Amino acid sequence: MVPDVAYQLGLPVDGRYVSGCLSEFHLYIPGGRPAWVWFQELLGVVPPPSQVQKYAVNCSWFQETFGECPDGADDETVRRYARAYIMMLLGTQLFGDKSCNCIHIRWLPYVARQEEMGTYSWGSAALAWLYRCMCRVANKHVVKLTGPLQQLQSWIFWRFPRFRPSGYETFSWPLASRWSGYNAFGSEKGPRVEMWMLRIDRLQHGEPDNGEFPVQFIWMPYTTPDVLQVVHPEVLEPRHMALWRSVTSLIYFAVIEWHQIDRVLP
């Protein structure tokens, strides 16, 4: 599923691992600057104490402060707004928690070096976080699933034809944007869950036989001409093809998950 992240979200899946310090920033920041001093240097402002929860800042403050870059802003102001936007994107879309109301300042070392952002394996980090969140929600006492759920939903729609909504046949890049206009609707939670559980129970193994039943699962959804013509050329480079067969660890700060492709076979 690692290369799936590259196709679905357009994120790099090779490169440096995403990890670092979650607290005590002054021990690791060059020059020993306190974390909030560095925050002010990078973003030009410090949130009031009422908007801070230890090492996290309320999303509402980020949105109100950096919601729209002013017209005619100089280069330094644009860079500050870009750093804030990246922190909001990482903290809410890819690596959000169940509260979805705070953004951790763990991202300061990354936005401080914007030119290096593309050298990290954001795709494998997002997948590591998704795996960990899915493991947690398997506990009967956990009632909500978090993480990059747009990746999970898009993966399901691409792989299980019977589960995807109708009317979304236009492909674009990244491939998850195919479902950008989709809004789930239906009955109450209980009946809806029961309906999907029944559909899963009725899945059949194997390929369609003389039209007796439709395709149940698509093993190679990215090989059709319609898909290949919109995929970013870099994803199709030979050096990336080996990633489909890699057995490696997925790292996101303290989260380490194993991607064992040899355990998932047709």
Average pLDDT on 114-120 reads 92
pLDDT digits (tens, 9 = 90+) for 147-192: 999 999 999 999 998 888 889 999 999 999 999 888 877 656 667 7
Query: Which candidate, 178, 151, 173, 158, places its Cα nearest to that of 232?
Result: 173
Between the CA of residue 36 and those of 61, 106, 211, 219, 227, what are the distances in Å? 15, 11, 63, 48, 45
Confidence band, pLDDT 50/70/90 cuts, at residue 266: very low
pLDDT digits (tens, 9 = 90+) for 54-112: 889 999 999 999 999 999 999 999 999 999 999 999 999 999 887 778 999 999 989 99
Lowest mean pLDDT across 50-64, 111-125, 190-204: 190-204
Instruction: State the DSSP code for 187.
Output: S
- Cα dihedral 105, 110, 114, 117 sign: negative
pLDDT for position 52 = 94
Q: Are 13 and 121 in contact (CB under 8 A)?
A: yes
Instruction: State the DSSP code for 14.
Output: S
Domain ranges of the chain: 19-119, 123-263
pLDDT for position 208 = 55
C-alpha–C-alpha distance, residues 221 and 161, integer Å? 10
DSSP line for 124-170: HHHHHHHHHHHHHHTSTT-----S-HHHHHHHHHHH-GGGSPSS---
**Which residues fall within 8 angstroms of residue 38, CB to CB, at 6 or more apart?**
25, 29, 108, 112
pLDDT digits (tens, 9 = 90+) for 220-253: 899 889 999 999 888 888 877 777 777 778 999 9
* Predicted TM-score (pTM) of this structure: 0.86
